[in-house]
């Protein structure tokens, strides 16, 4: 429902395909502080050439620079929890401060 491809990695366990492919490519597990970015912004294009590892801050800045119709993040005018726009977006509509509390 969020646009990302998931793959089965065990008994009833799923992983995001782009993260799994990047882990296989670099030969190690990704940390929670590593974001796999789709360079062409197409979450269905999981070719390794279209993927890049970024920090959450780098990823937020990259998307902020695209300024999606004045939105703070894709589909979100502000943090879903605190309403702030002066903190970087971290994921799922939450800022970097609020995200860990709702993960």
pLDDT digits (tens, 9 = 90+) for 16-55: 999 999 999 999 999 999 999 998 888 999 999 999 999 9
| For residue 67, pLDDT beyond 60 | no
The model's confidence at residue 84, banded by pLDDT at 50, 70 and 90, is confident
Query: What percentage of the chain exceeds 90 in pLDDT?
Result: 40
The model's confidence at residue 8, banded by pLDDT at 50, 70 and 90, is very high
| pLDDT of res. 70 | 66
Calpha distance 37→55 (Å, rounded): 10
Contact 9, 23 (CB under 8 A): no
Q: How far is CA 14 from the centre of its chain?
A: 16
Exposed, middle or buried by CB within 10 Å (0-12, 13-18, 19+), for 72?
buried
């Amino acid at each position: 429902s969020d646009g990302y491809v998931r793959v089965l990695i065990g008994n009833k366990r799923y992983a995001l395909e782009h993260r799994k492919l990047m882990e296989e490519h670099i030969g190690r597990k990704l940390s929670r502080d590593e974001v796999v970015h789709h360079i062409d912004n197409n979450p269905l294009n999981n070719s390794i050439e279209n993927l890049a590892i970024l920090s959450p801050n780098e990823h937020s800045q990259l998307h902020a620079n695209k300024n999606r119709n004045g939105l703070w993040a894709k589909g979100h005018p502000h943090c879903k929890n605190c309403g702030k726009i002066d903190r970087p977006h971290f994921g799922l509509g939450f800022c970097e401060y609020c995200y860990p509390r709702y993960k």
